[in-house]
Amino acid sequence: MKLMKKNMQVGSLQGFIMSLVGISVVLAVGLVVLNELGDSVTAGSNAANATDAIETKLATVPTWIGILITVALAFIVLGYFYGRR
């Protein structure tokens, strides 16, 4: 029974890691596209201002990814020690 429980924990950990990698890749590609779009638009126009605003807001997302990883690892460690009882 313990072996099945550990396999389920490892499987859920792999799913969590893959989802974080997917989110990171989409975020990186999105920021590159927005940067290129902002460079191609005439400075001072409404489109350039909107693109810069979106890019600035999206640039704060990577800090949340680090916090999510830290919290998830804490839950995994706590779950491991809680499951040992």
71: closest CA among 20, 25, 23, 28?
A: 20
Give the E-state strand segments of the chain in sequence order.
none
Q: Which residue has the higher pLDDT, 8 or 27?
A: 27
Angle 37-67-79 (CA atoms, 0-180°, nearest 5)?
Answer: 140
Would the CA dihedral through 36, 42, 45, 47 be positive or negative? negative
pLDDT recorded at residue 2: 53
Counts of helices then strands in the chain (DSSP H, E):
3, 0
Q: Which residue has the higher pLDDT, 10 or 34?
A: 34
Q: What is the pLDDT of residues 11-64, one digit of tens each?
A: 667 777 788 888 888 888 888 888 887 777 777 778 778 888 888 888 888 888
